[in-house]
Structure 1
């Protein structure tokens, strides 16, 4: 894709997220997005059908960035859960304003739902590669961990990140190790 197209799409998405920080999704107009991105309305419509399409593509783009930045290159089973979690918290800290807005905007629960689904897939892959303690139902464990981690991430962001990513991961791992008896590799 042409660099100018990429830059324009990025500017539109950043303008959109910036507006969501200030007002509800329902009140945001294509005109306001275009003004903020310093493009004309027609340019916005060249890239996105409407603001709902923009929201959908924005969520997909930012989740993909999160996934790509946090997952290791190559075989994920060779990376400990602690390292994956640390990468995730550090990435979120570096991009706090965007993810804070997407995660906490009242009118758009879609981001949180898709983030949880992405976490479920990642946790499922990690459990498959590391094994499961006897007696623990895989499906229940995946749901529990995805809900717990996403809730913790959301709390951490809403509270303006009162602890460092390292402290968050250390506490989370301590809780998991003491209460779930995770496999040695975790």
Structure 2
């Protein structure tokens, strides 16, 4: 059999990956051993080491694979139009994000709620930030900027992360479409107007 077409290596990797997330339901990442992974996946240790250096390499590869999938799901294509974003346009972007999380729920539930490695959230947030930077680069003019760009990015992404965690922790009580619509309204209208305060274009004296 041609090694390139041999499905067995992929099946072994998939079983090891599946076993890792099964074990994470019962044990902290620090307590999981290669022997536990190999035994649970029904492979020998030499098979495990043929694919991964150790359990940390296994986790790193899983995270990288999912971050590539995330980028593909939410990537902004082409030139961002100059007009102000509408709720509908922003909602379409966020719907792709929530659907992606929904499709890979076990991974994100484990990583965001159980947190086997502390660096994941930083990696996740950095991936989201790159898309926002594309929008900022196309539209932000220094003379009209009202807040620090890096602080604004952290504020927006931090709130988005909190919303995702709450959604997963509560077993996704709302659809991806509803979550996307609500988040887009928060982004487009801003905090003050979303709360219900009157929209004022300038401060009153």
User: TM-score under structure 1 normalisation?
Assistant: 0.84
Distance 1:165 1:130 in 2: 28
For residue 100 of structure 1, what is the aligned residue in structure 2? 109
Distance 2:149 2:116 in 1: 32
For residue 43 of structure 1, what is the aligned residue in structure 2? 47
Q: 3-state SS of the aligned residue for 1:2?
A: helix
Distance 1:116 1:62 in 2: 13
For residue 94 of structure 2, what is the aligned residue in structure 1? 85
- Give the aligned CA root-mean-square deviation in angstroms: 2.4
Distance 2:80 2:15 in 1: 36
Runs of 5+ consecutive residues of structure 1 not aligned to the other structure? 182-186
Distance 1:76 1:21 in 2: 43
Distance 1:22 1:104 in 2: 14
Q: Cα offset for 1:77? A: 2.7
Runs of 5+ consecutive residues of structure 2 not aligned to the other structure? 193-205
Query: Contact 2:74/2:93 (CA < 8 Å) preserved in 1?
Result: yes
Query: Contact 2:94/2:183 (CA < 8 Å) preserved in 1?
Result: no
Q: Cα offset for 1:122? A: 1.6
Larger Rg: 2
For residue 4 of structure 2, what is the aligned residue in structure 1? 2
For residue 152 of structure 1, what is the aligned residue in structure 2? 163
Q: Cα offset for 1:175? A: 1.5
Distance 2:52 2:94 in 1: 33
Q: 2:35 aligns with which of 22, 31, 37?
A: 31
User: Aligned in 2, Cα 1:40/1:98: closer, same or farther, shift over 3 Å?
Assistant: same
User: TM-score under structure 2 normalisation?
Assistant: 0.77
Q: How does 1:6-17 map to 2 (within 5 A)?
A: 6-17=10-21
